[in-house]
Amino acid sequence: MLRLPFVLLANLLIGLRLLLGLPFRLMAVRQRPTWVRFRLTGNLPYRPRPGPRFRLGGTPVEPATVASLEDFGRALRTLAADPKVEGILLELENLTLADARRDALLTLISDFQAAGKRVVSWSVMVDTSAYPILGAADEVLLAPMGRVDLVGFAAEATVLGEAFGRVGIHAHFARRGDYKTAPELFTDGTVSDVQRQTLETFLDERYAVLVDAIARDRGKTPEEARALIDAGPYSAKRALEAGLVDGLVHEADLGAHLGLESKKKAAHDDETPVPTFSAYLATQPFPPVRWRRLRRKPRLAVVDVAGIIVPGSGGSGRFAAADTVVKALRQAARDPRSKAVVLAVASPGGSALASEQMLEAVKRVAKQKPVIAYVDKVCASGGYMAAIGAKEIWSAPHAVVGSIGIFQGKFEYGDLLDKLGVRSTTVTRGQNAAFGSGSRGFTPHERAALEREVEEGYQTFLELVAQARGRTKEEIHQLAEGRVYSGLRAKDAGLVDRIGGFEEVCRYAMDEARVSSEDFEIHRFGRGARSRLSLLKLLAAAAHPTSYAFCTTAWGLWGFGTTEPID
């Protein structure tokens, strides 16, 4: 009941503001724009990122900038319902969308076009990843000085074994699984055939999607689309000649190109700006209003597993600390408003101990509320172990999934110490007492213990996955040994349940909780200060007594090395 007077007061103020602005909006009705401009930049989050209510100082945000995919979708639905609106202008600037978010953005654009509206896109420069967004428009424009860096995709595998040897560091690892290539980053002097084959598989899938997009959007055959990619990059003139864009227009001339006229244009000003969505709302007598609700919306909890999995607690983003994630899961379970949980996994794995801690915590929450795991980039090794505790696993089509395997080892830096003039003597009691010593490698007895522990860990991993996926250990073993899959191939292999986007997962989770998925809010648990990535932490995580990890650090493949939280 304490909420009632505050809700009534808030709605009264909203209504008063709406009423006071009505005369001005009525006067502006005749100036309602027929075209609306949006600026797409960066890696758009699914939902608006939390921020300060009042911003003092700092760089101002360009008014047309889209804050999130949710905001953009809401705006497009409003414009699609207005018969006076002809279309939208999309300005692309440094757009760096992950695959799943690009697919979600393309769906929003396609739905708007299906409502009979036009989409015109414009940019100064786009790369291979952003071109499908530019090309999805009904009319594609480029600045006369612009570029289309359409060149295809490249993957670069890295190994450090020889470099480490030159400075006196030697990596000693045992692994279970021929496809568990993570230790190769530290041990090998050349890229293995398995690494190369895995990279080529992902490149083939991604390249096929690009070819299909160009062929569909630009009216080309697949062979012509591949020829266009091979002829890149393009200057603006060559892009126009090749049919990758439909026209070259300066930014100041975009309004005139769309047929807009400025009624208050100064005599010395020949620019006709394209209105923003905020300007459009100012011409609506009764614009969409978010009234405060007496009863709060049902809540969906989102818990991130983002970064290399490590024991203990700490920041988010680069490292997923077990204690932090477990605490967040417990908070989500206790929260009475949270009806379901989405476990947002963006992790290549890490410590076996920490991964199993997370798995047990996920299982406990899943006994109380529906838990759905979702991956839009990487859900590998220990990250996949955490995900299998959920009721279902959803994946973006081209995310990295799997890498069921294990490795364990240490770094020997005795030669480096010798070069530096550092001398040490190790005295032990017990044959394996210096198992973790970095001053020397493994003795035969220690190596046998290492191999035994790695095998035991691998069998445990197989058992846990088999139980979760309703399969036998033998069946999982045929899919495991460190093999990695795209989301689509993981679905065919039975390692994930569904292919979809973040918003679809959220709605499905609420449906599973028997709560309306039409209107709910998302609350993130465990999002804290971000920890910095350091080589020391990376090496320590990779050499943890037992590690379930897929080493994205060794891949330069469309940003798969990034493990940003899903937001």
Which of these is catalytic: 117, 123, 129, 180? Answer: 180
Share of the chain above pLDDT 90, in %: 49
DSSP per residue over 381-400, as a string?
A: THHHHHHTTSSEEEE-TT-E
pLDDT confidence band for 553 (50 / 70 / 90)? very low
Highest mean predicted confidence (pLDDT) among 253-262, 265-274, 392-401: 392-401
Establish whether 363 is a catalytic residue.
Answer: no
pLDDT at 29 over 70: no
pLDDT at 198 over 50: yes
β-pair type (234-235, 139-149): antiparallel
pLDDT at 437 over 70: yes
* pLDDT score, position 267: 43
Which of these is catalytic: 381, 403, 486, 517? Answer: 381
pLDDT confidence band for 279 (50 / 70 / 90)? confident
Average pLDDT, the chain: 84
Question: Residue holding tokens 């989050």?
Answer: 45
pLDDT at 269 over 60: no
pLDDT at 564 over 50: yes
Report d(CA 8, CA 4) in Å as an integer.
6
pLDDT digits (tens, 9 = 90+) for 554-563: 444 434 444 5
Report d(CA 480, CA 495) in Å as an integer.
10
pLDDT at 374 over 80: yes
* pLDDT score, position 366: 95
Give me the helices (H) in 115-183, please.
Answer: 131-135, 161-166
Higher pLDDT, 28 or 356: 356
pLDDT confidence band for 408 (50 / 70 / 90)? confident
* pLDDT score, position 2: 60
Q: Which of 398, 437, 358, 428 is nearest to 100 (CA)?
A: 398
In angstroms, what CA-CA distances link 373 with 308, 330, 370, 388? 17, 16, 10, 8
* pLDDT score, position 156: 81
Report d(CA 484, CA 434) in Å as an integer.
34
Question: Residue holding tokens 């609700």?
Answer: 293
Structure-block tokens of residue 91? 């300005």
Task: Name 184's bridge partners.
Answer: none
* pLDDT score, position 561: 43
* pLDDT score, position 565: 67
* pLDDT score, position 24: 55
- Helix and strand numbers (H, E) in the chain are 20, 22
Rounded to an integer, the average pLDDT of 533-541 is 47
pLDDT at 59 over 70: no
* pLDDT score, position 535: 46
* pLDDT score, position 31: 67
Min mean pLDDT across 5-9, 322-326, 493-497 is at 5-9
Rounded to an integer, the average pLDDT of 313-337 is 86
Neighbours of 266 (CB within 10 A): 8
Report d(CA 515, CA 42) in Å as an integer.
33
* pLDDT score, position 292: 60
pLDDT confidence band for 425 (50 / 70 / 90)? confident
> Which domains, and CATH codes, for the chain?
32-151+232-281 (3.90.226.10), 299-427+435-550 (3.90.226.10)
pLDDT at 16 over 80: no
Min mean pLDDT across 124-128, 171-175, 214-218, 230-234 is at 171-175
- Cβ atoms 548, 349 nearer than 8 A: yes
Rounded to an integer, the average pLDDT of 142-169 is 90
pLDDT confidence band for 98 (50 / 70 / 90)? confident
* pLDDT score, position 344: 94
pLDDT digits (tens, 9 = 90+) for 466-507: 999 999 999 999 999 999 999 999 999 999 999 999 999 999
Neighbours of 136 (CB within 10 A): 20
Higher pLDDT, 32 or 554: 32
Helix, coil or strand: residue 171: strand
Higher pLDDT, 104 or 555: 104
Q: Which of 89, 108, 84 is nearest to 36 (CA)?
A: 89
Higher pLDDT, 548 or 560: 548
Establish whether 381 is a catalytic residue.
Answer: yes
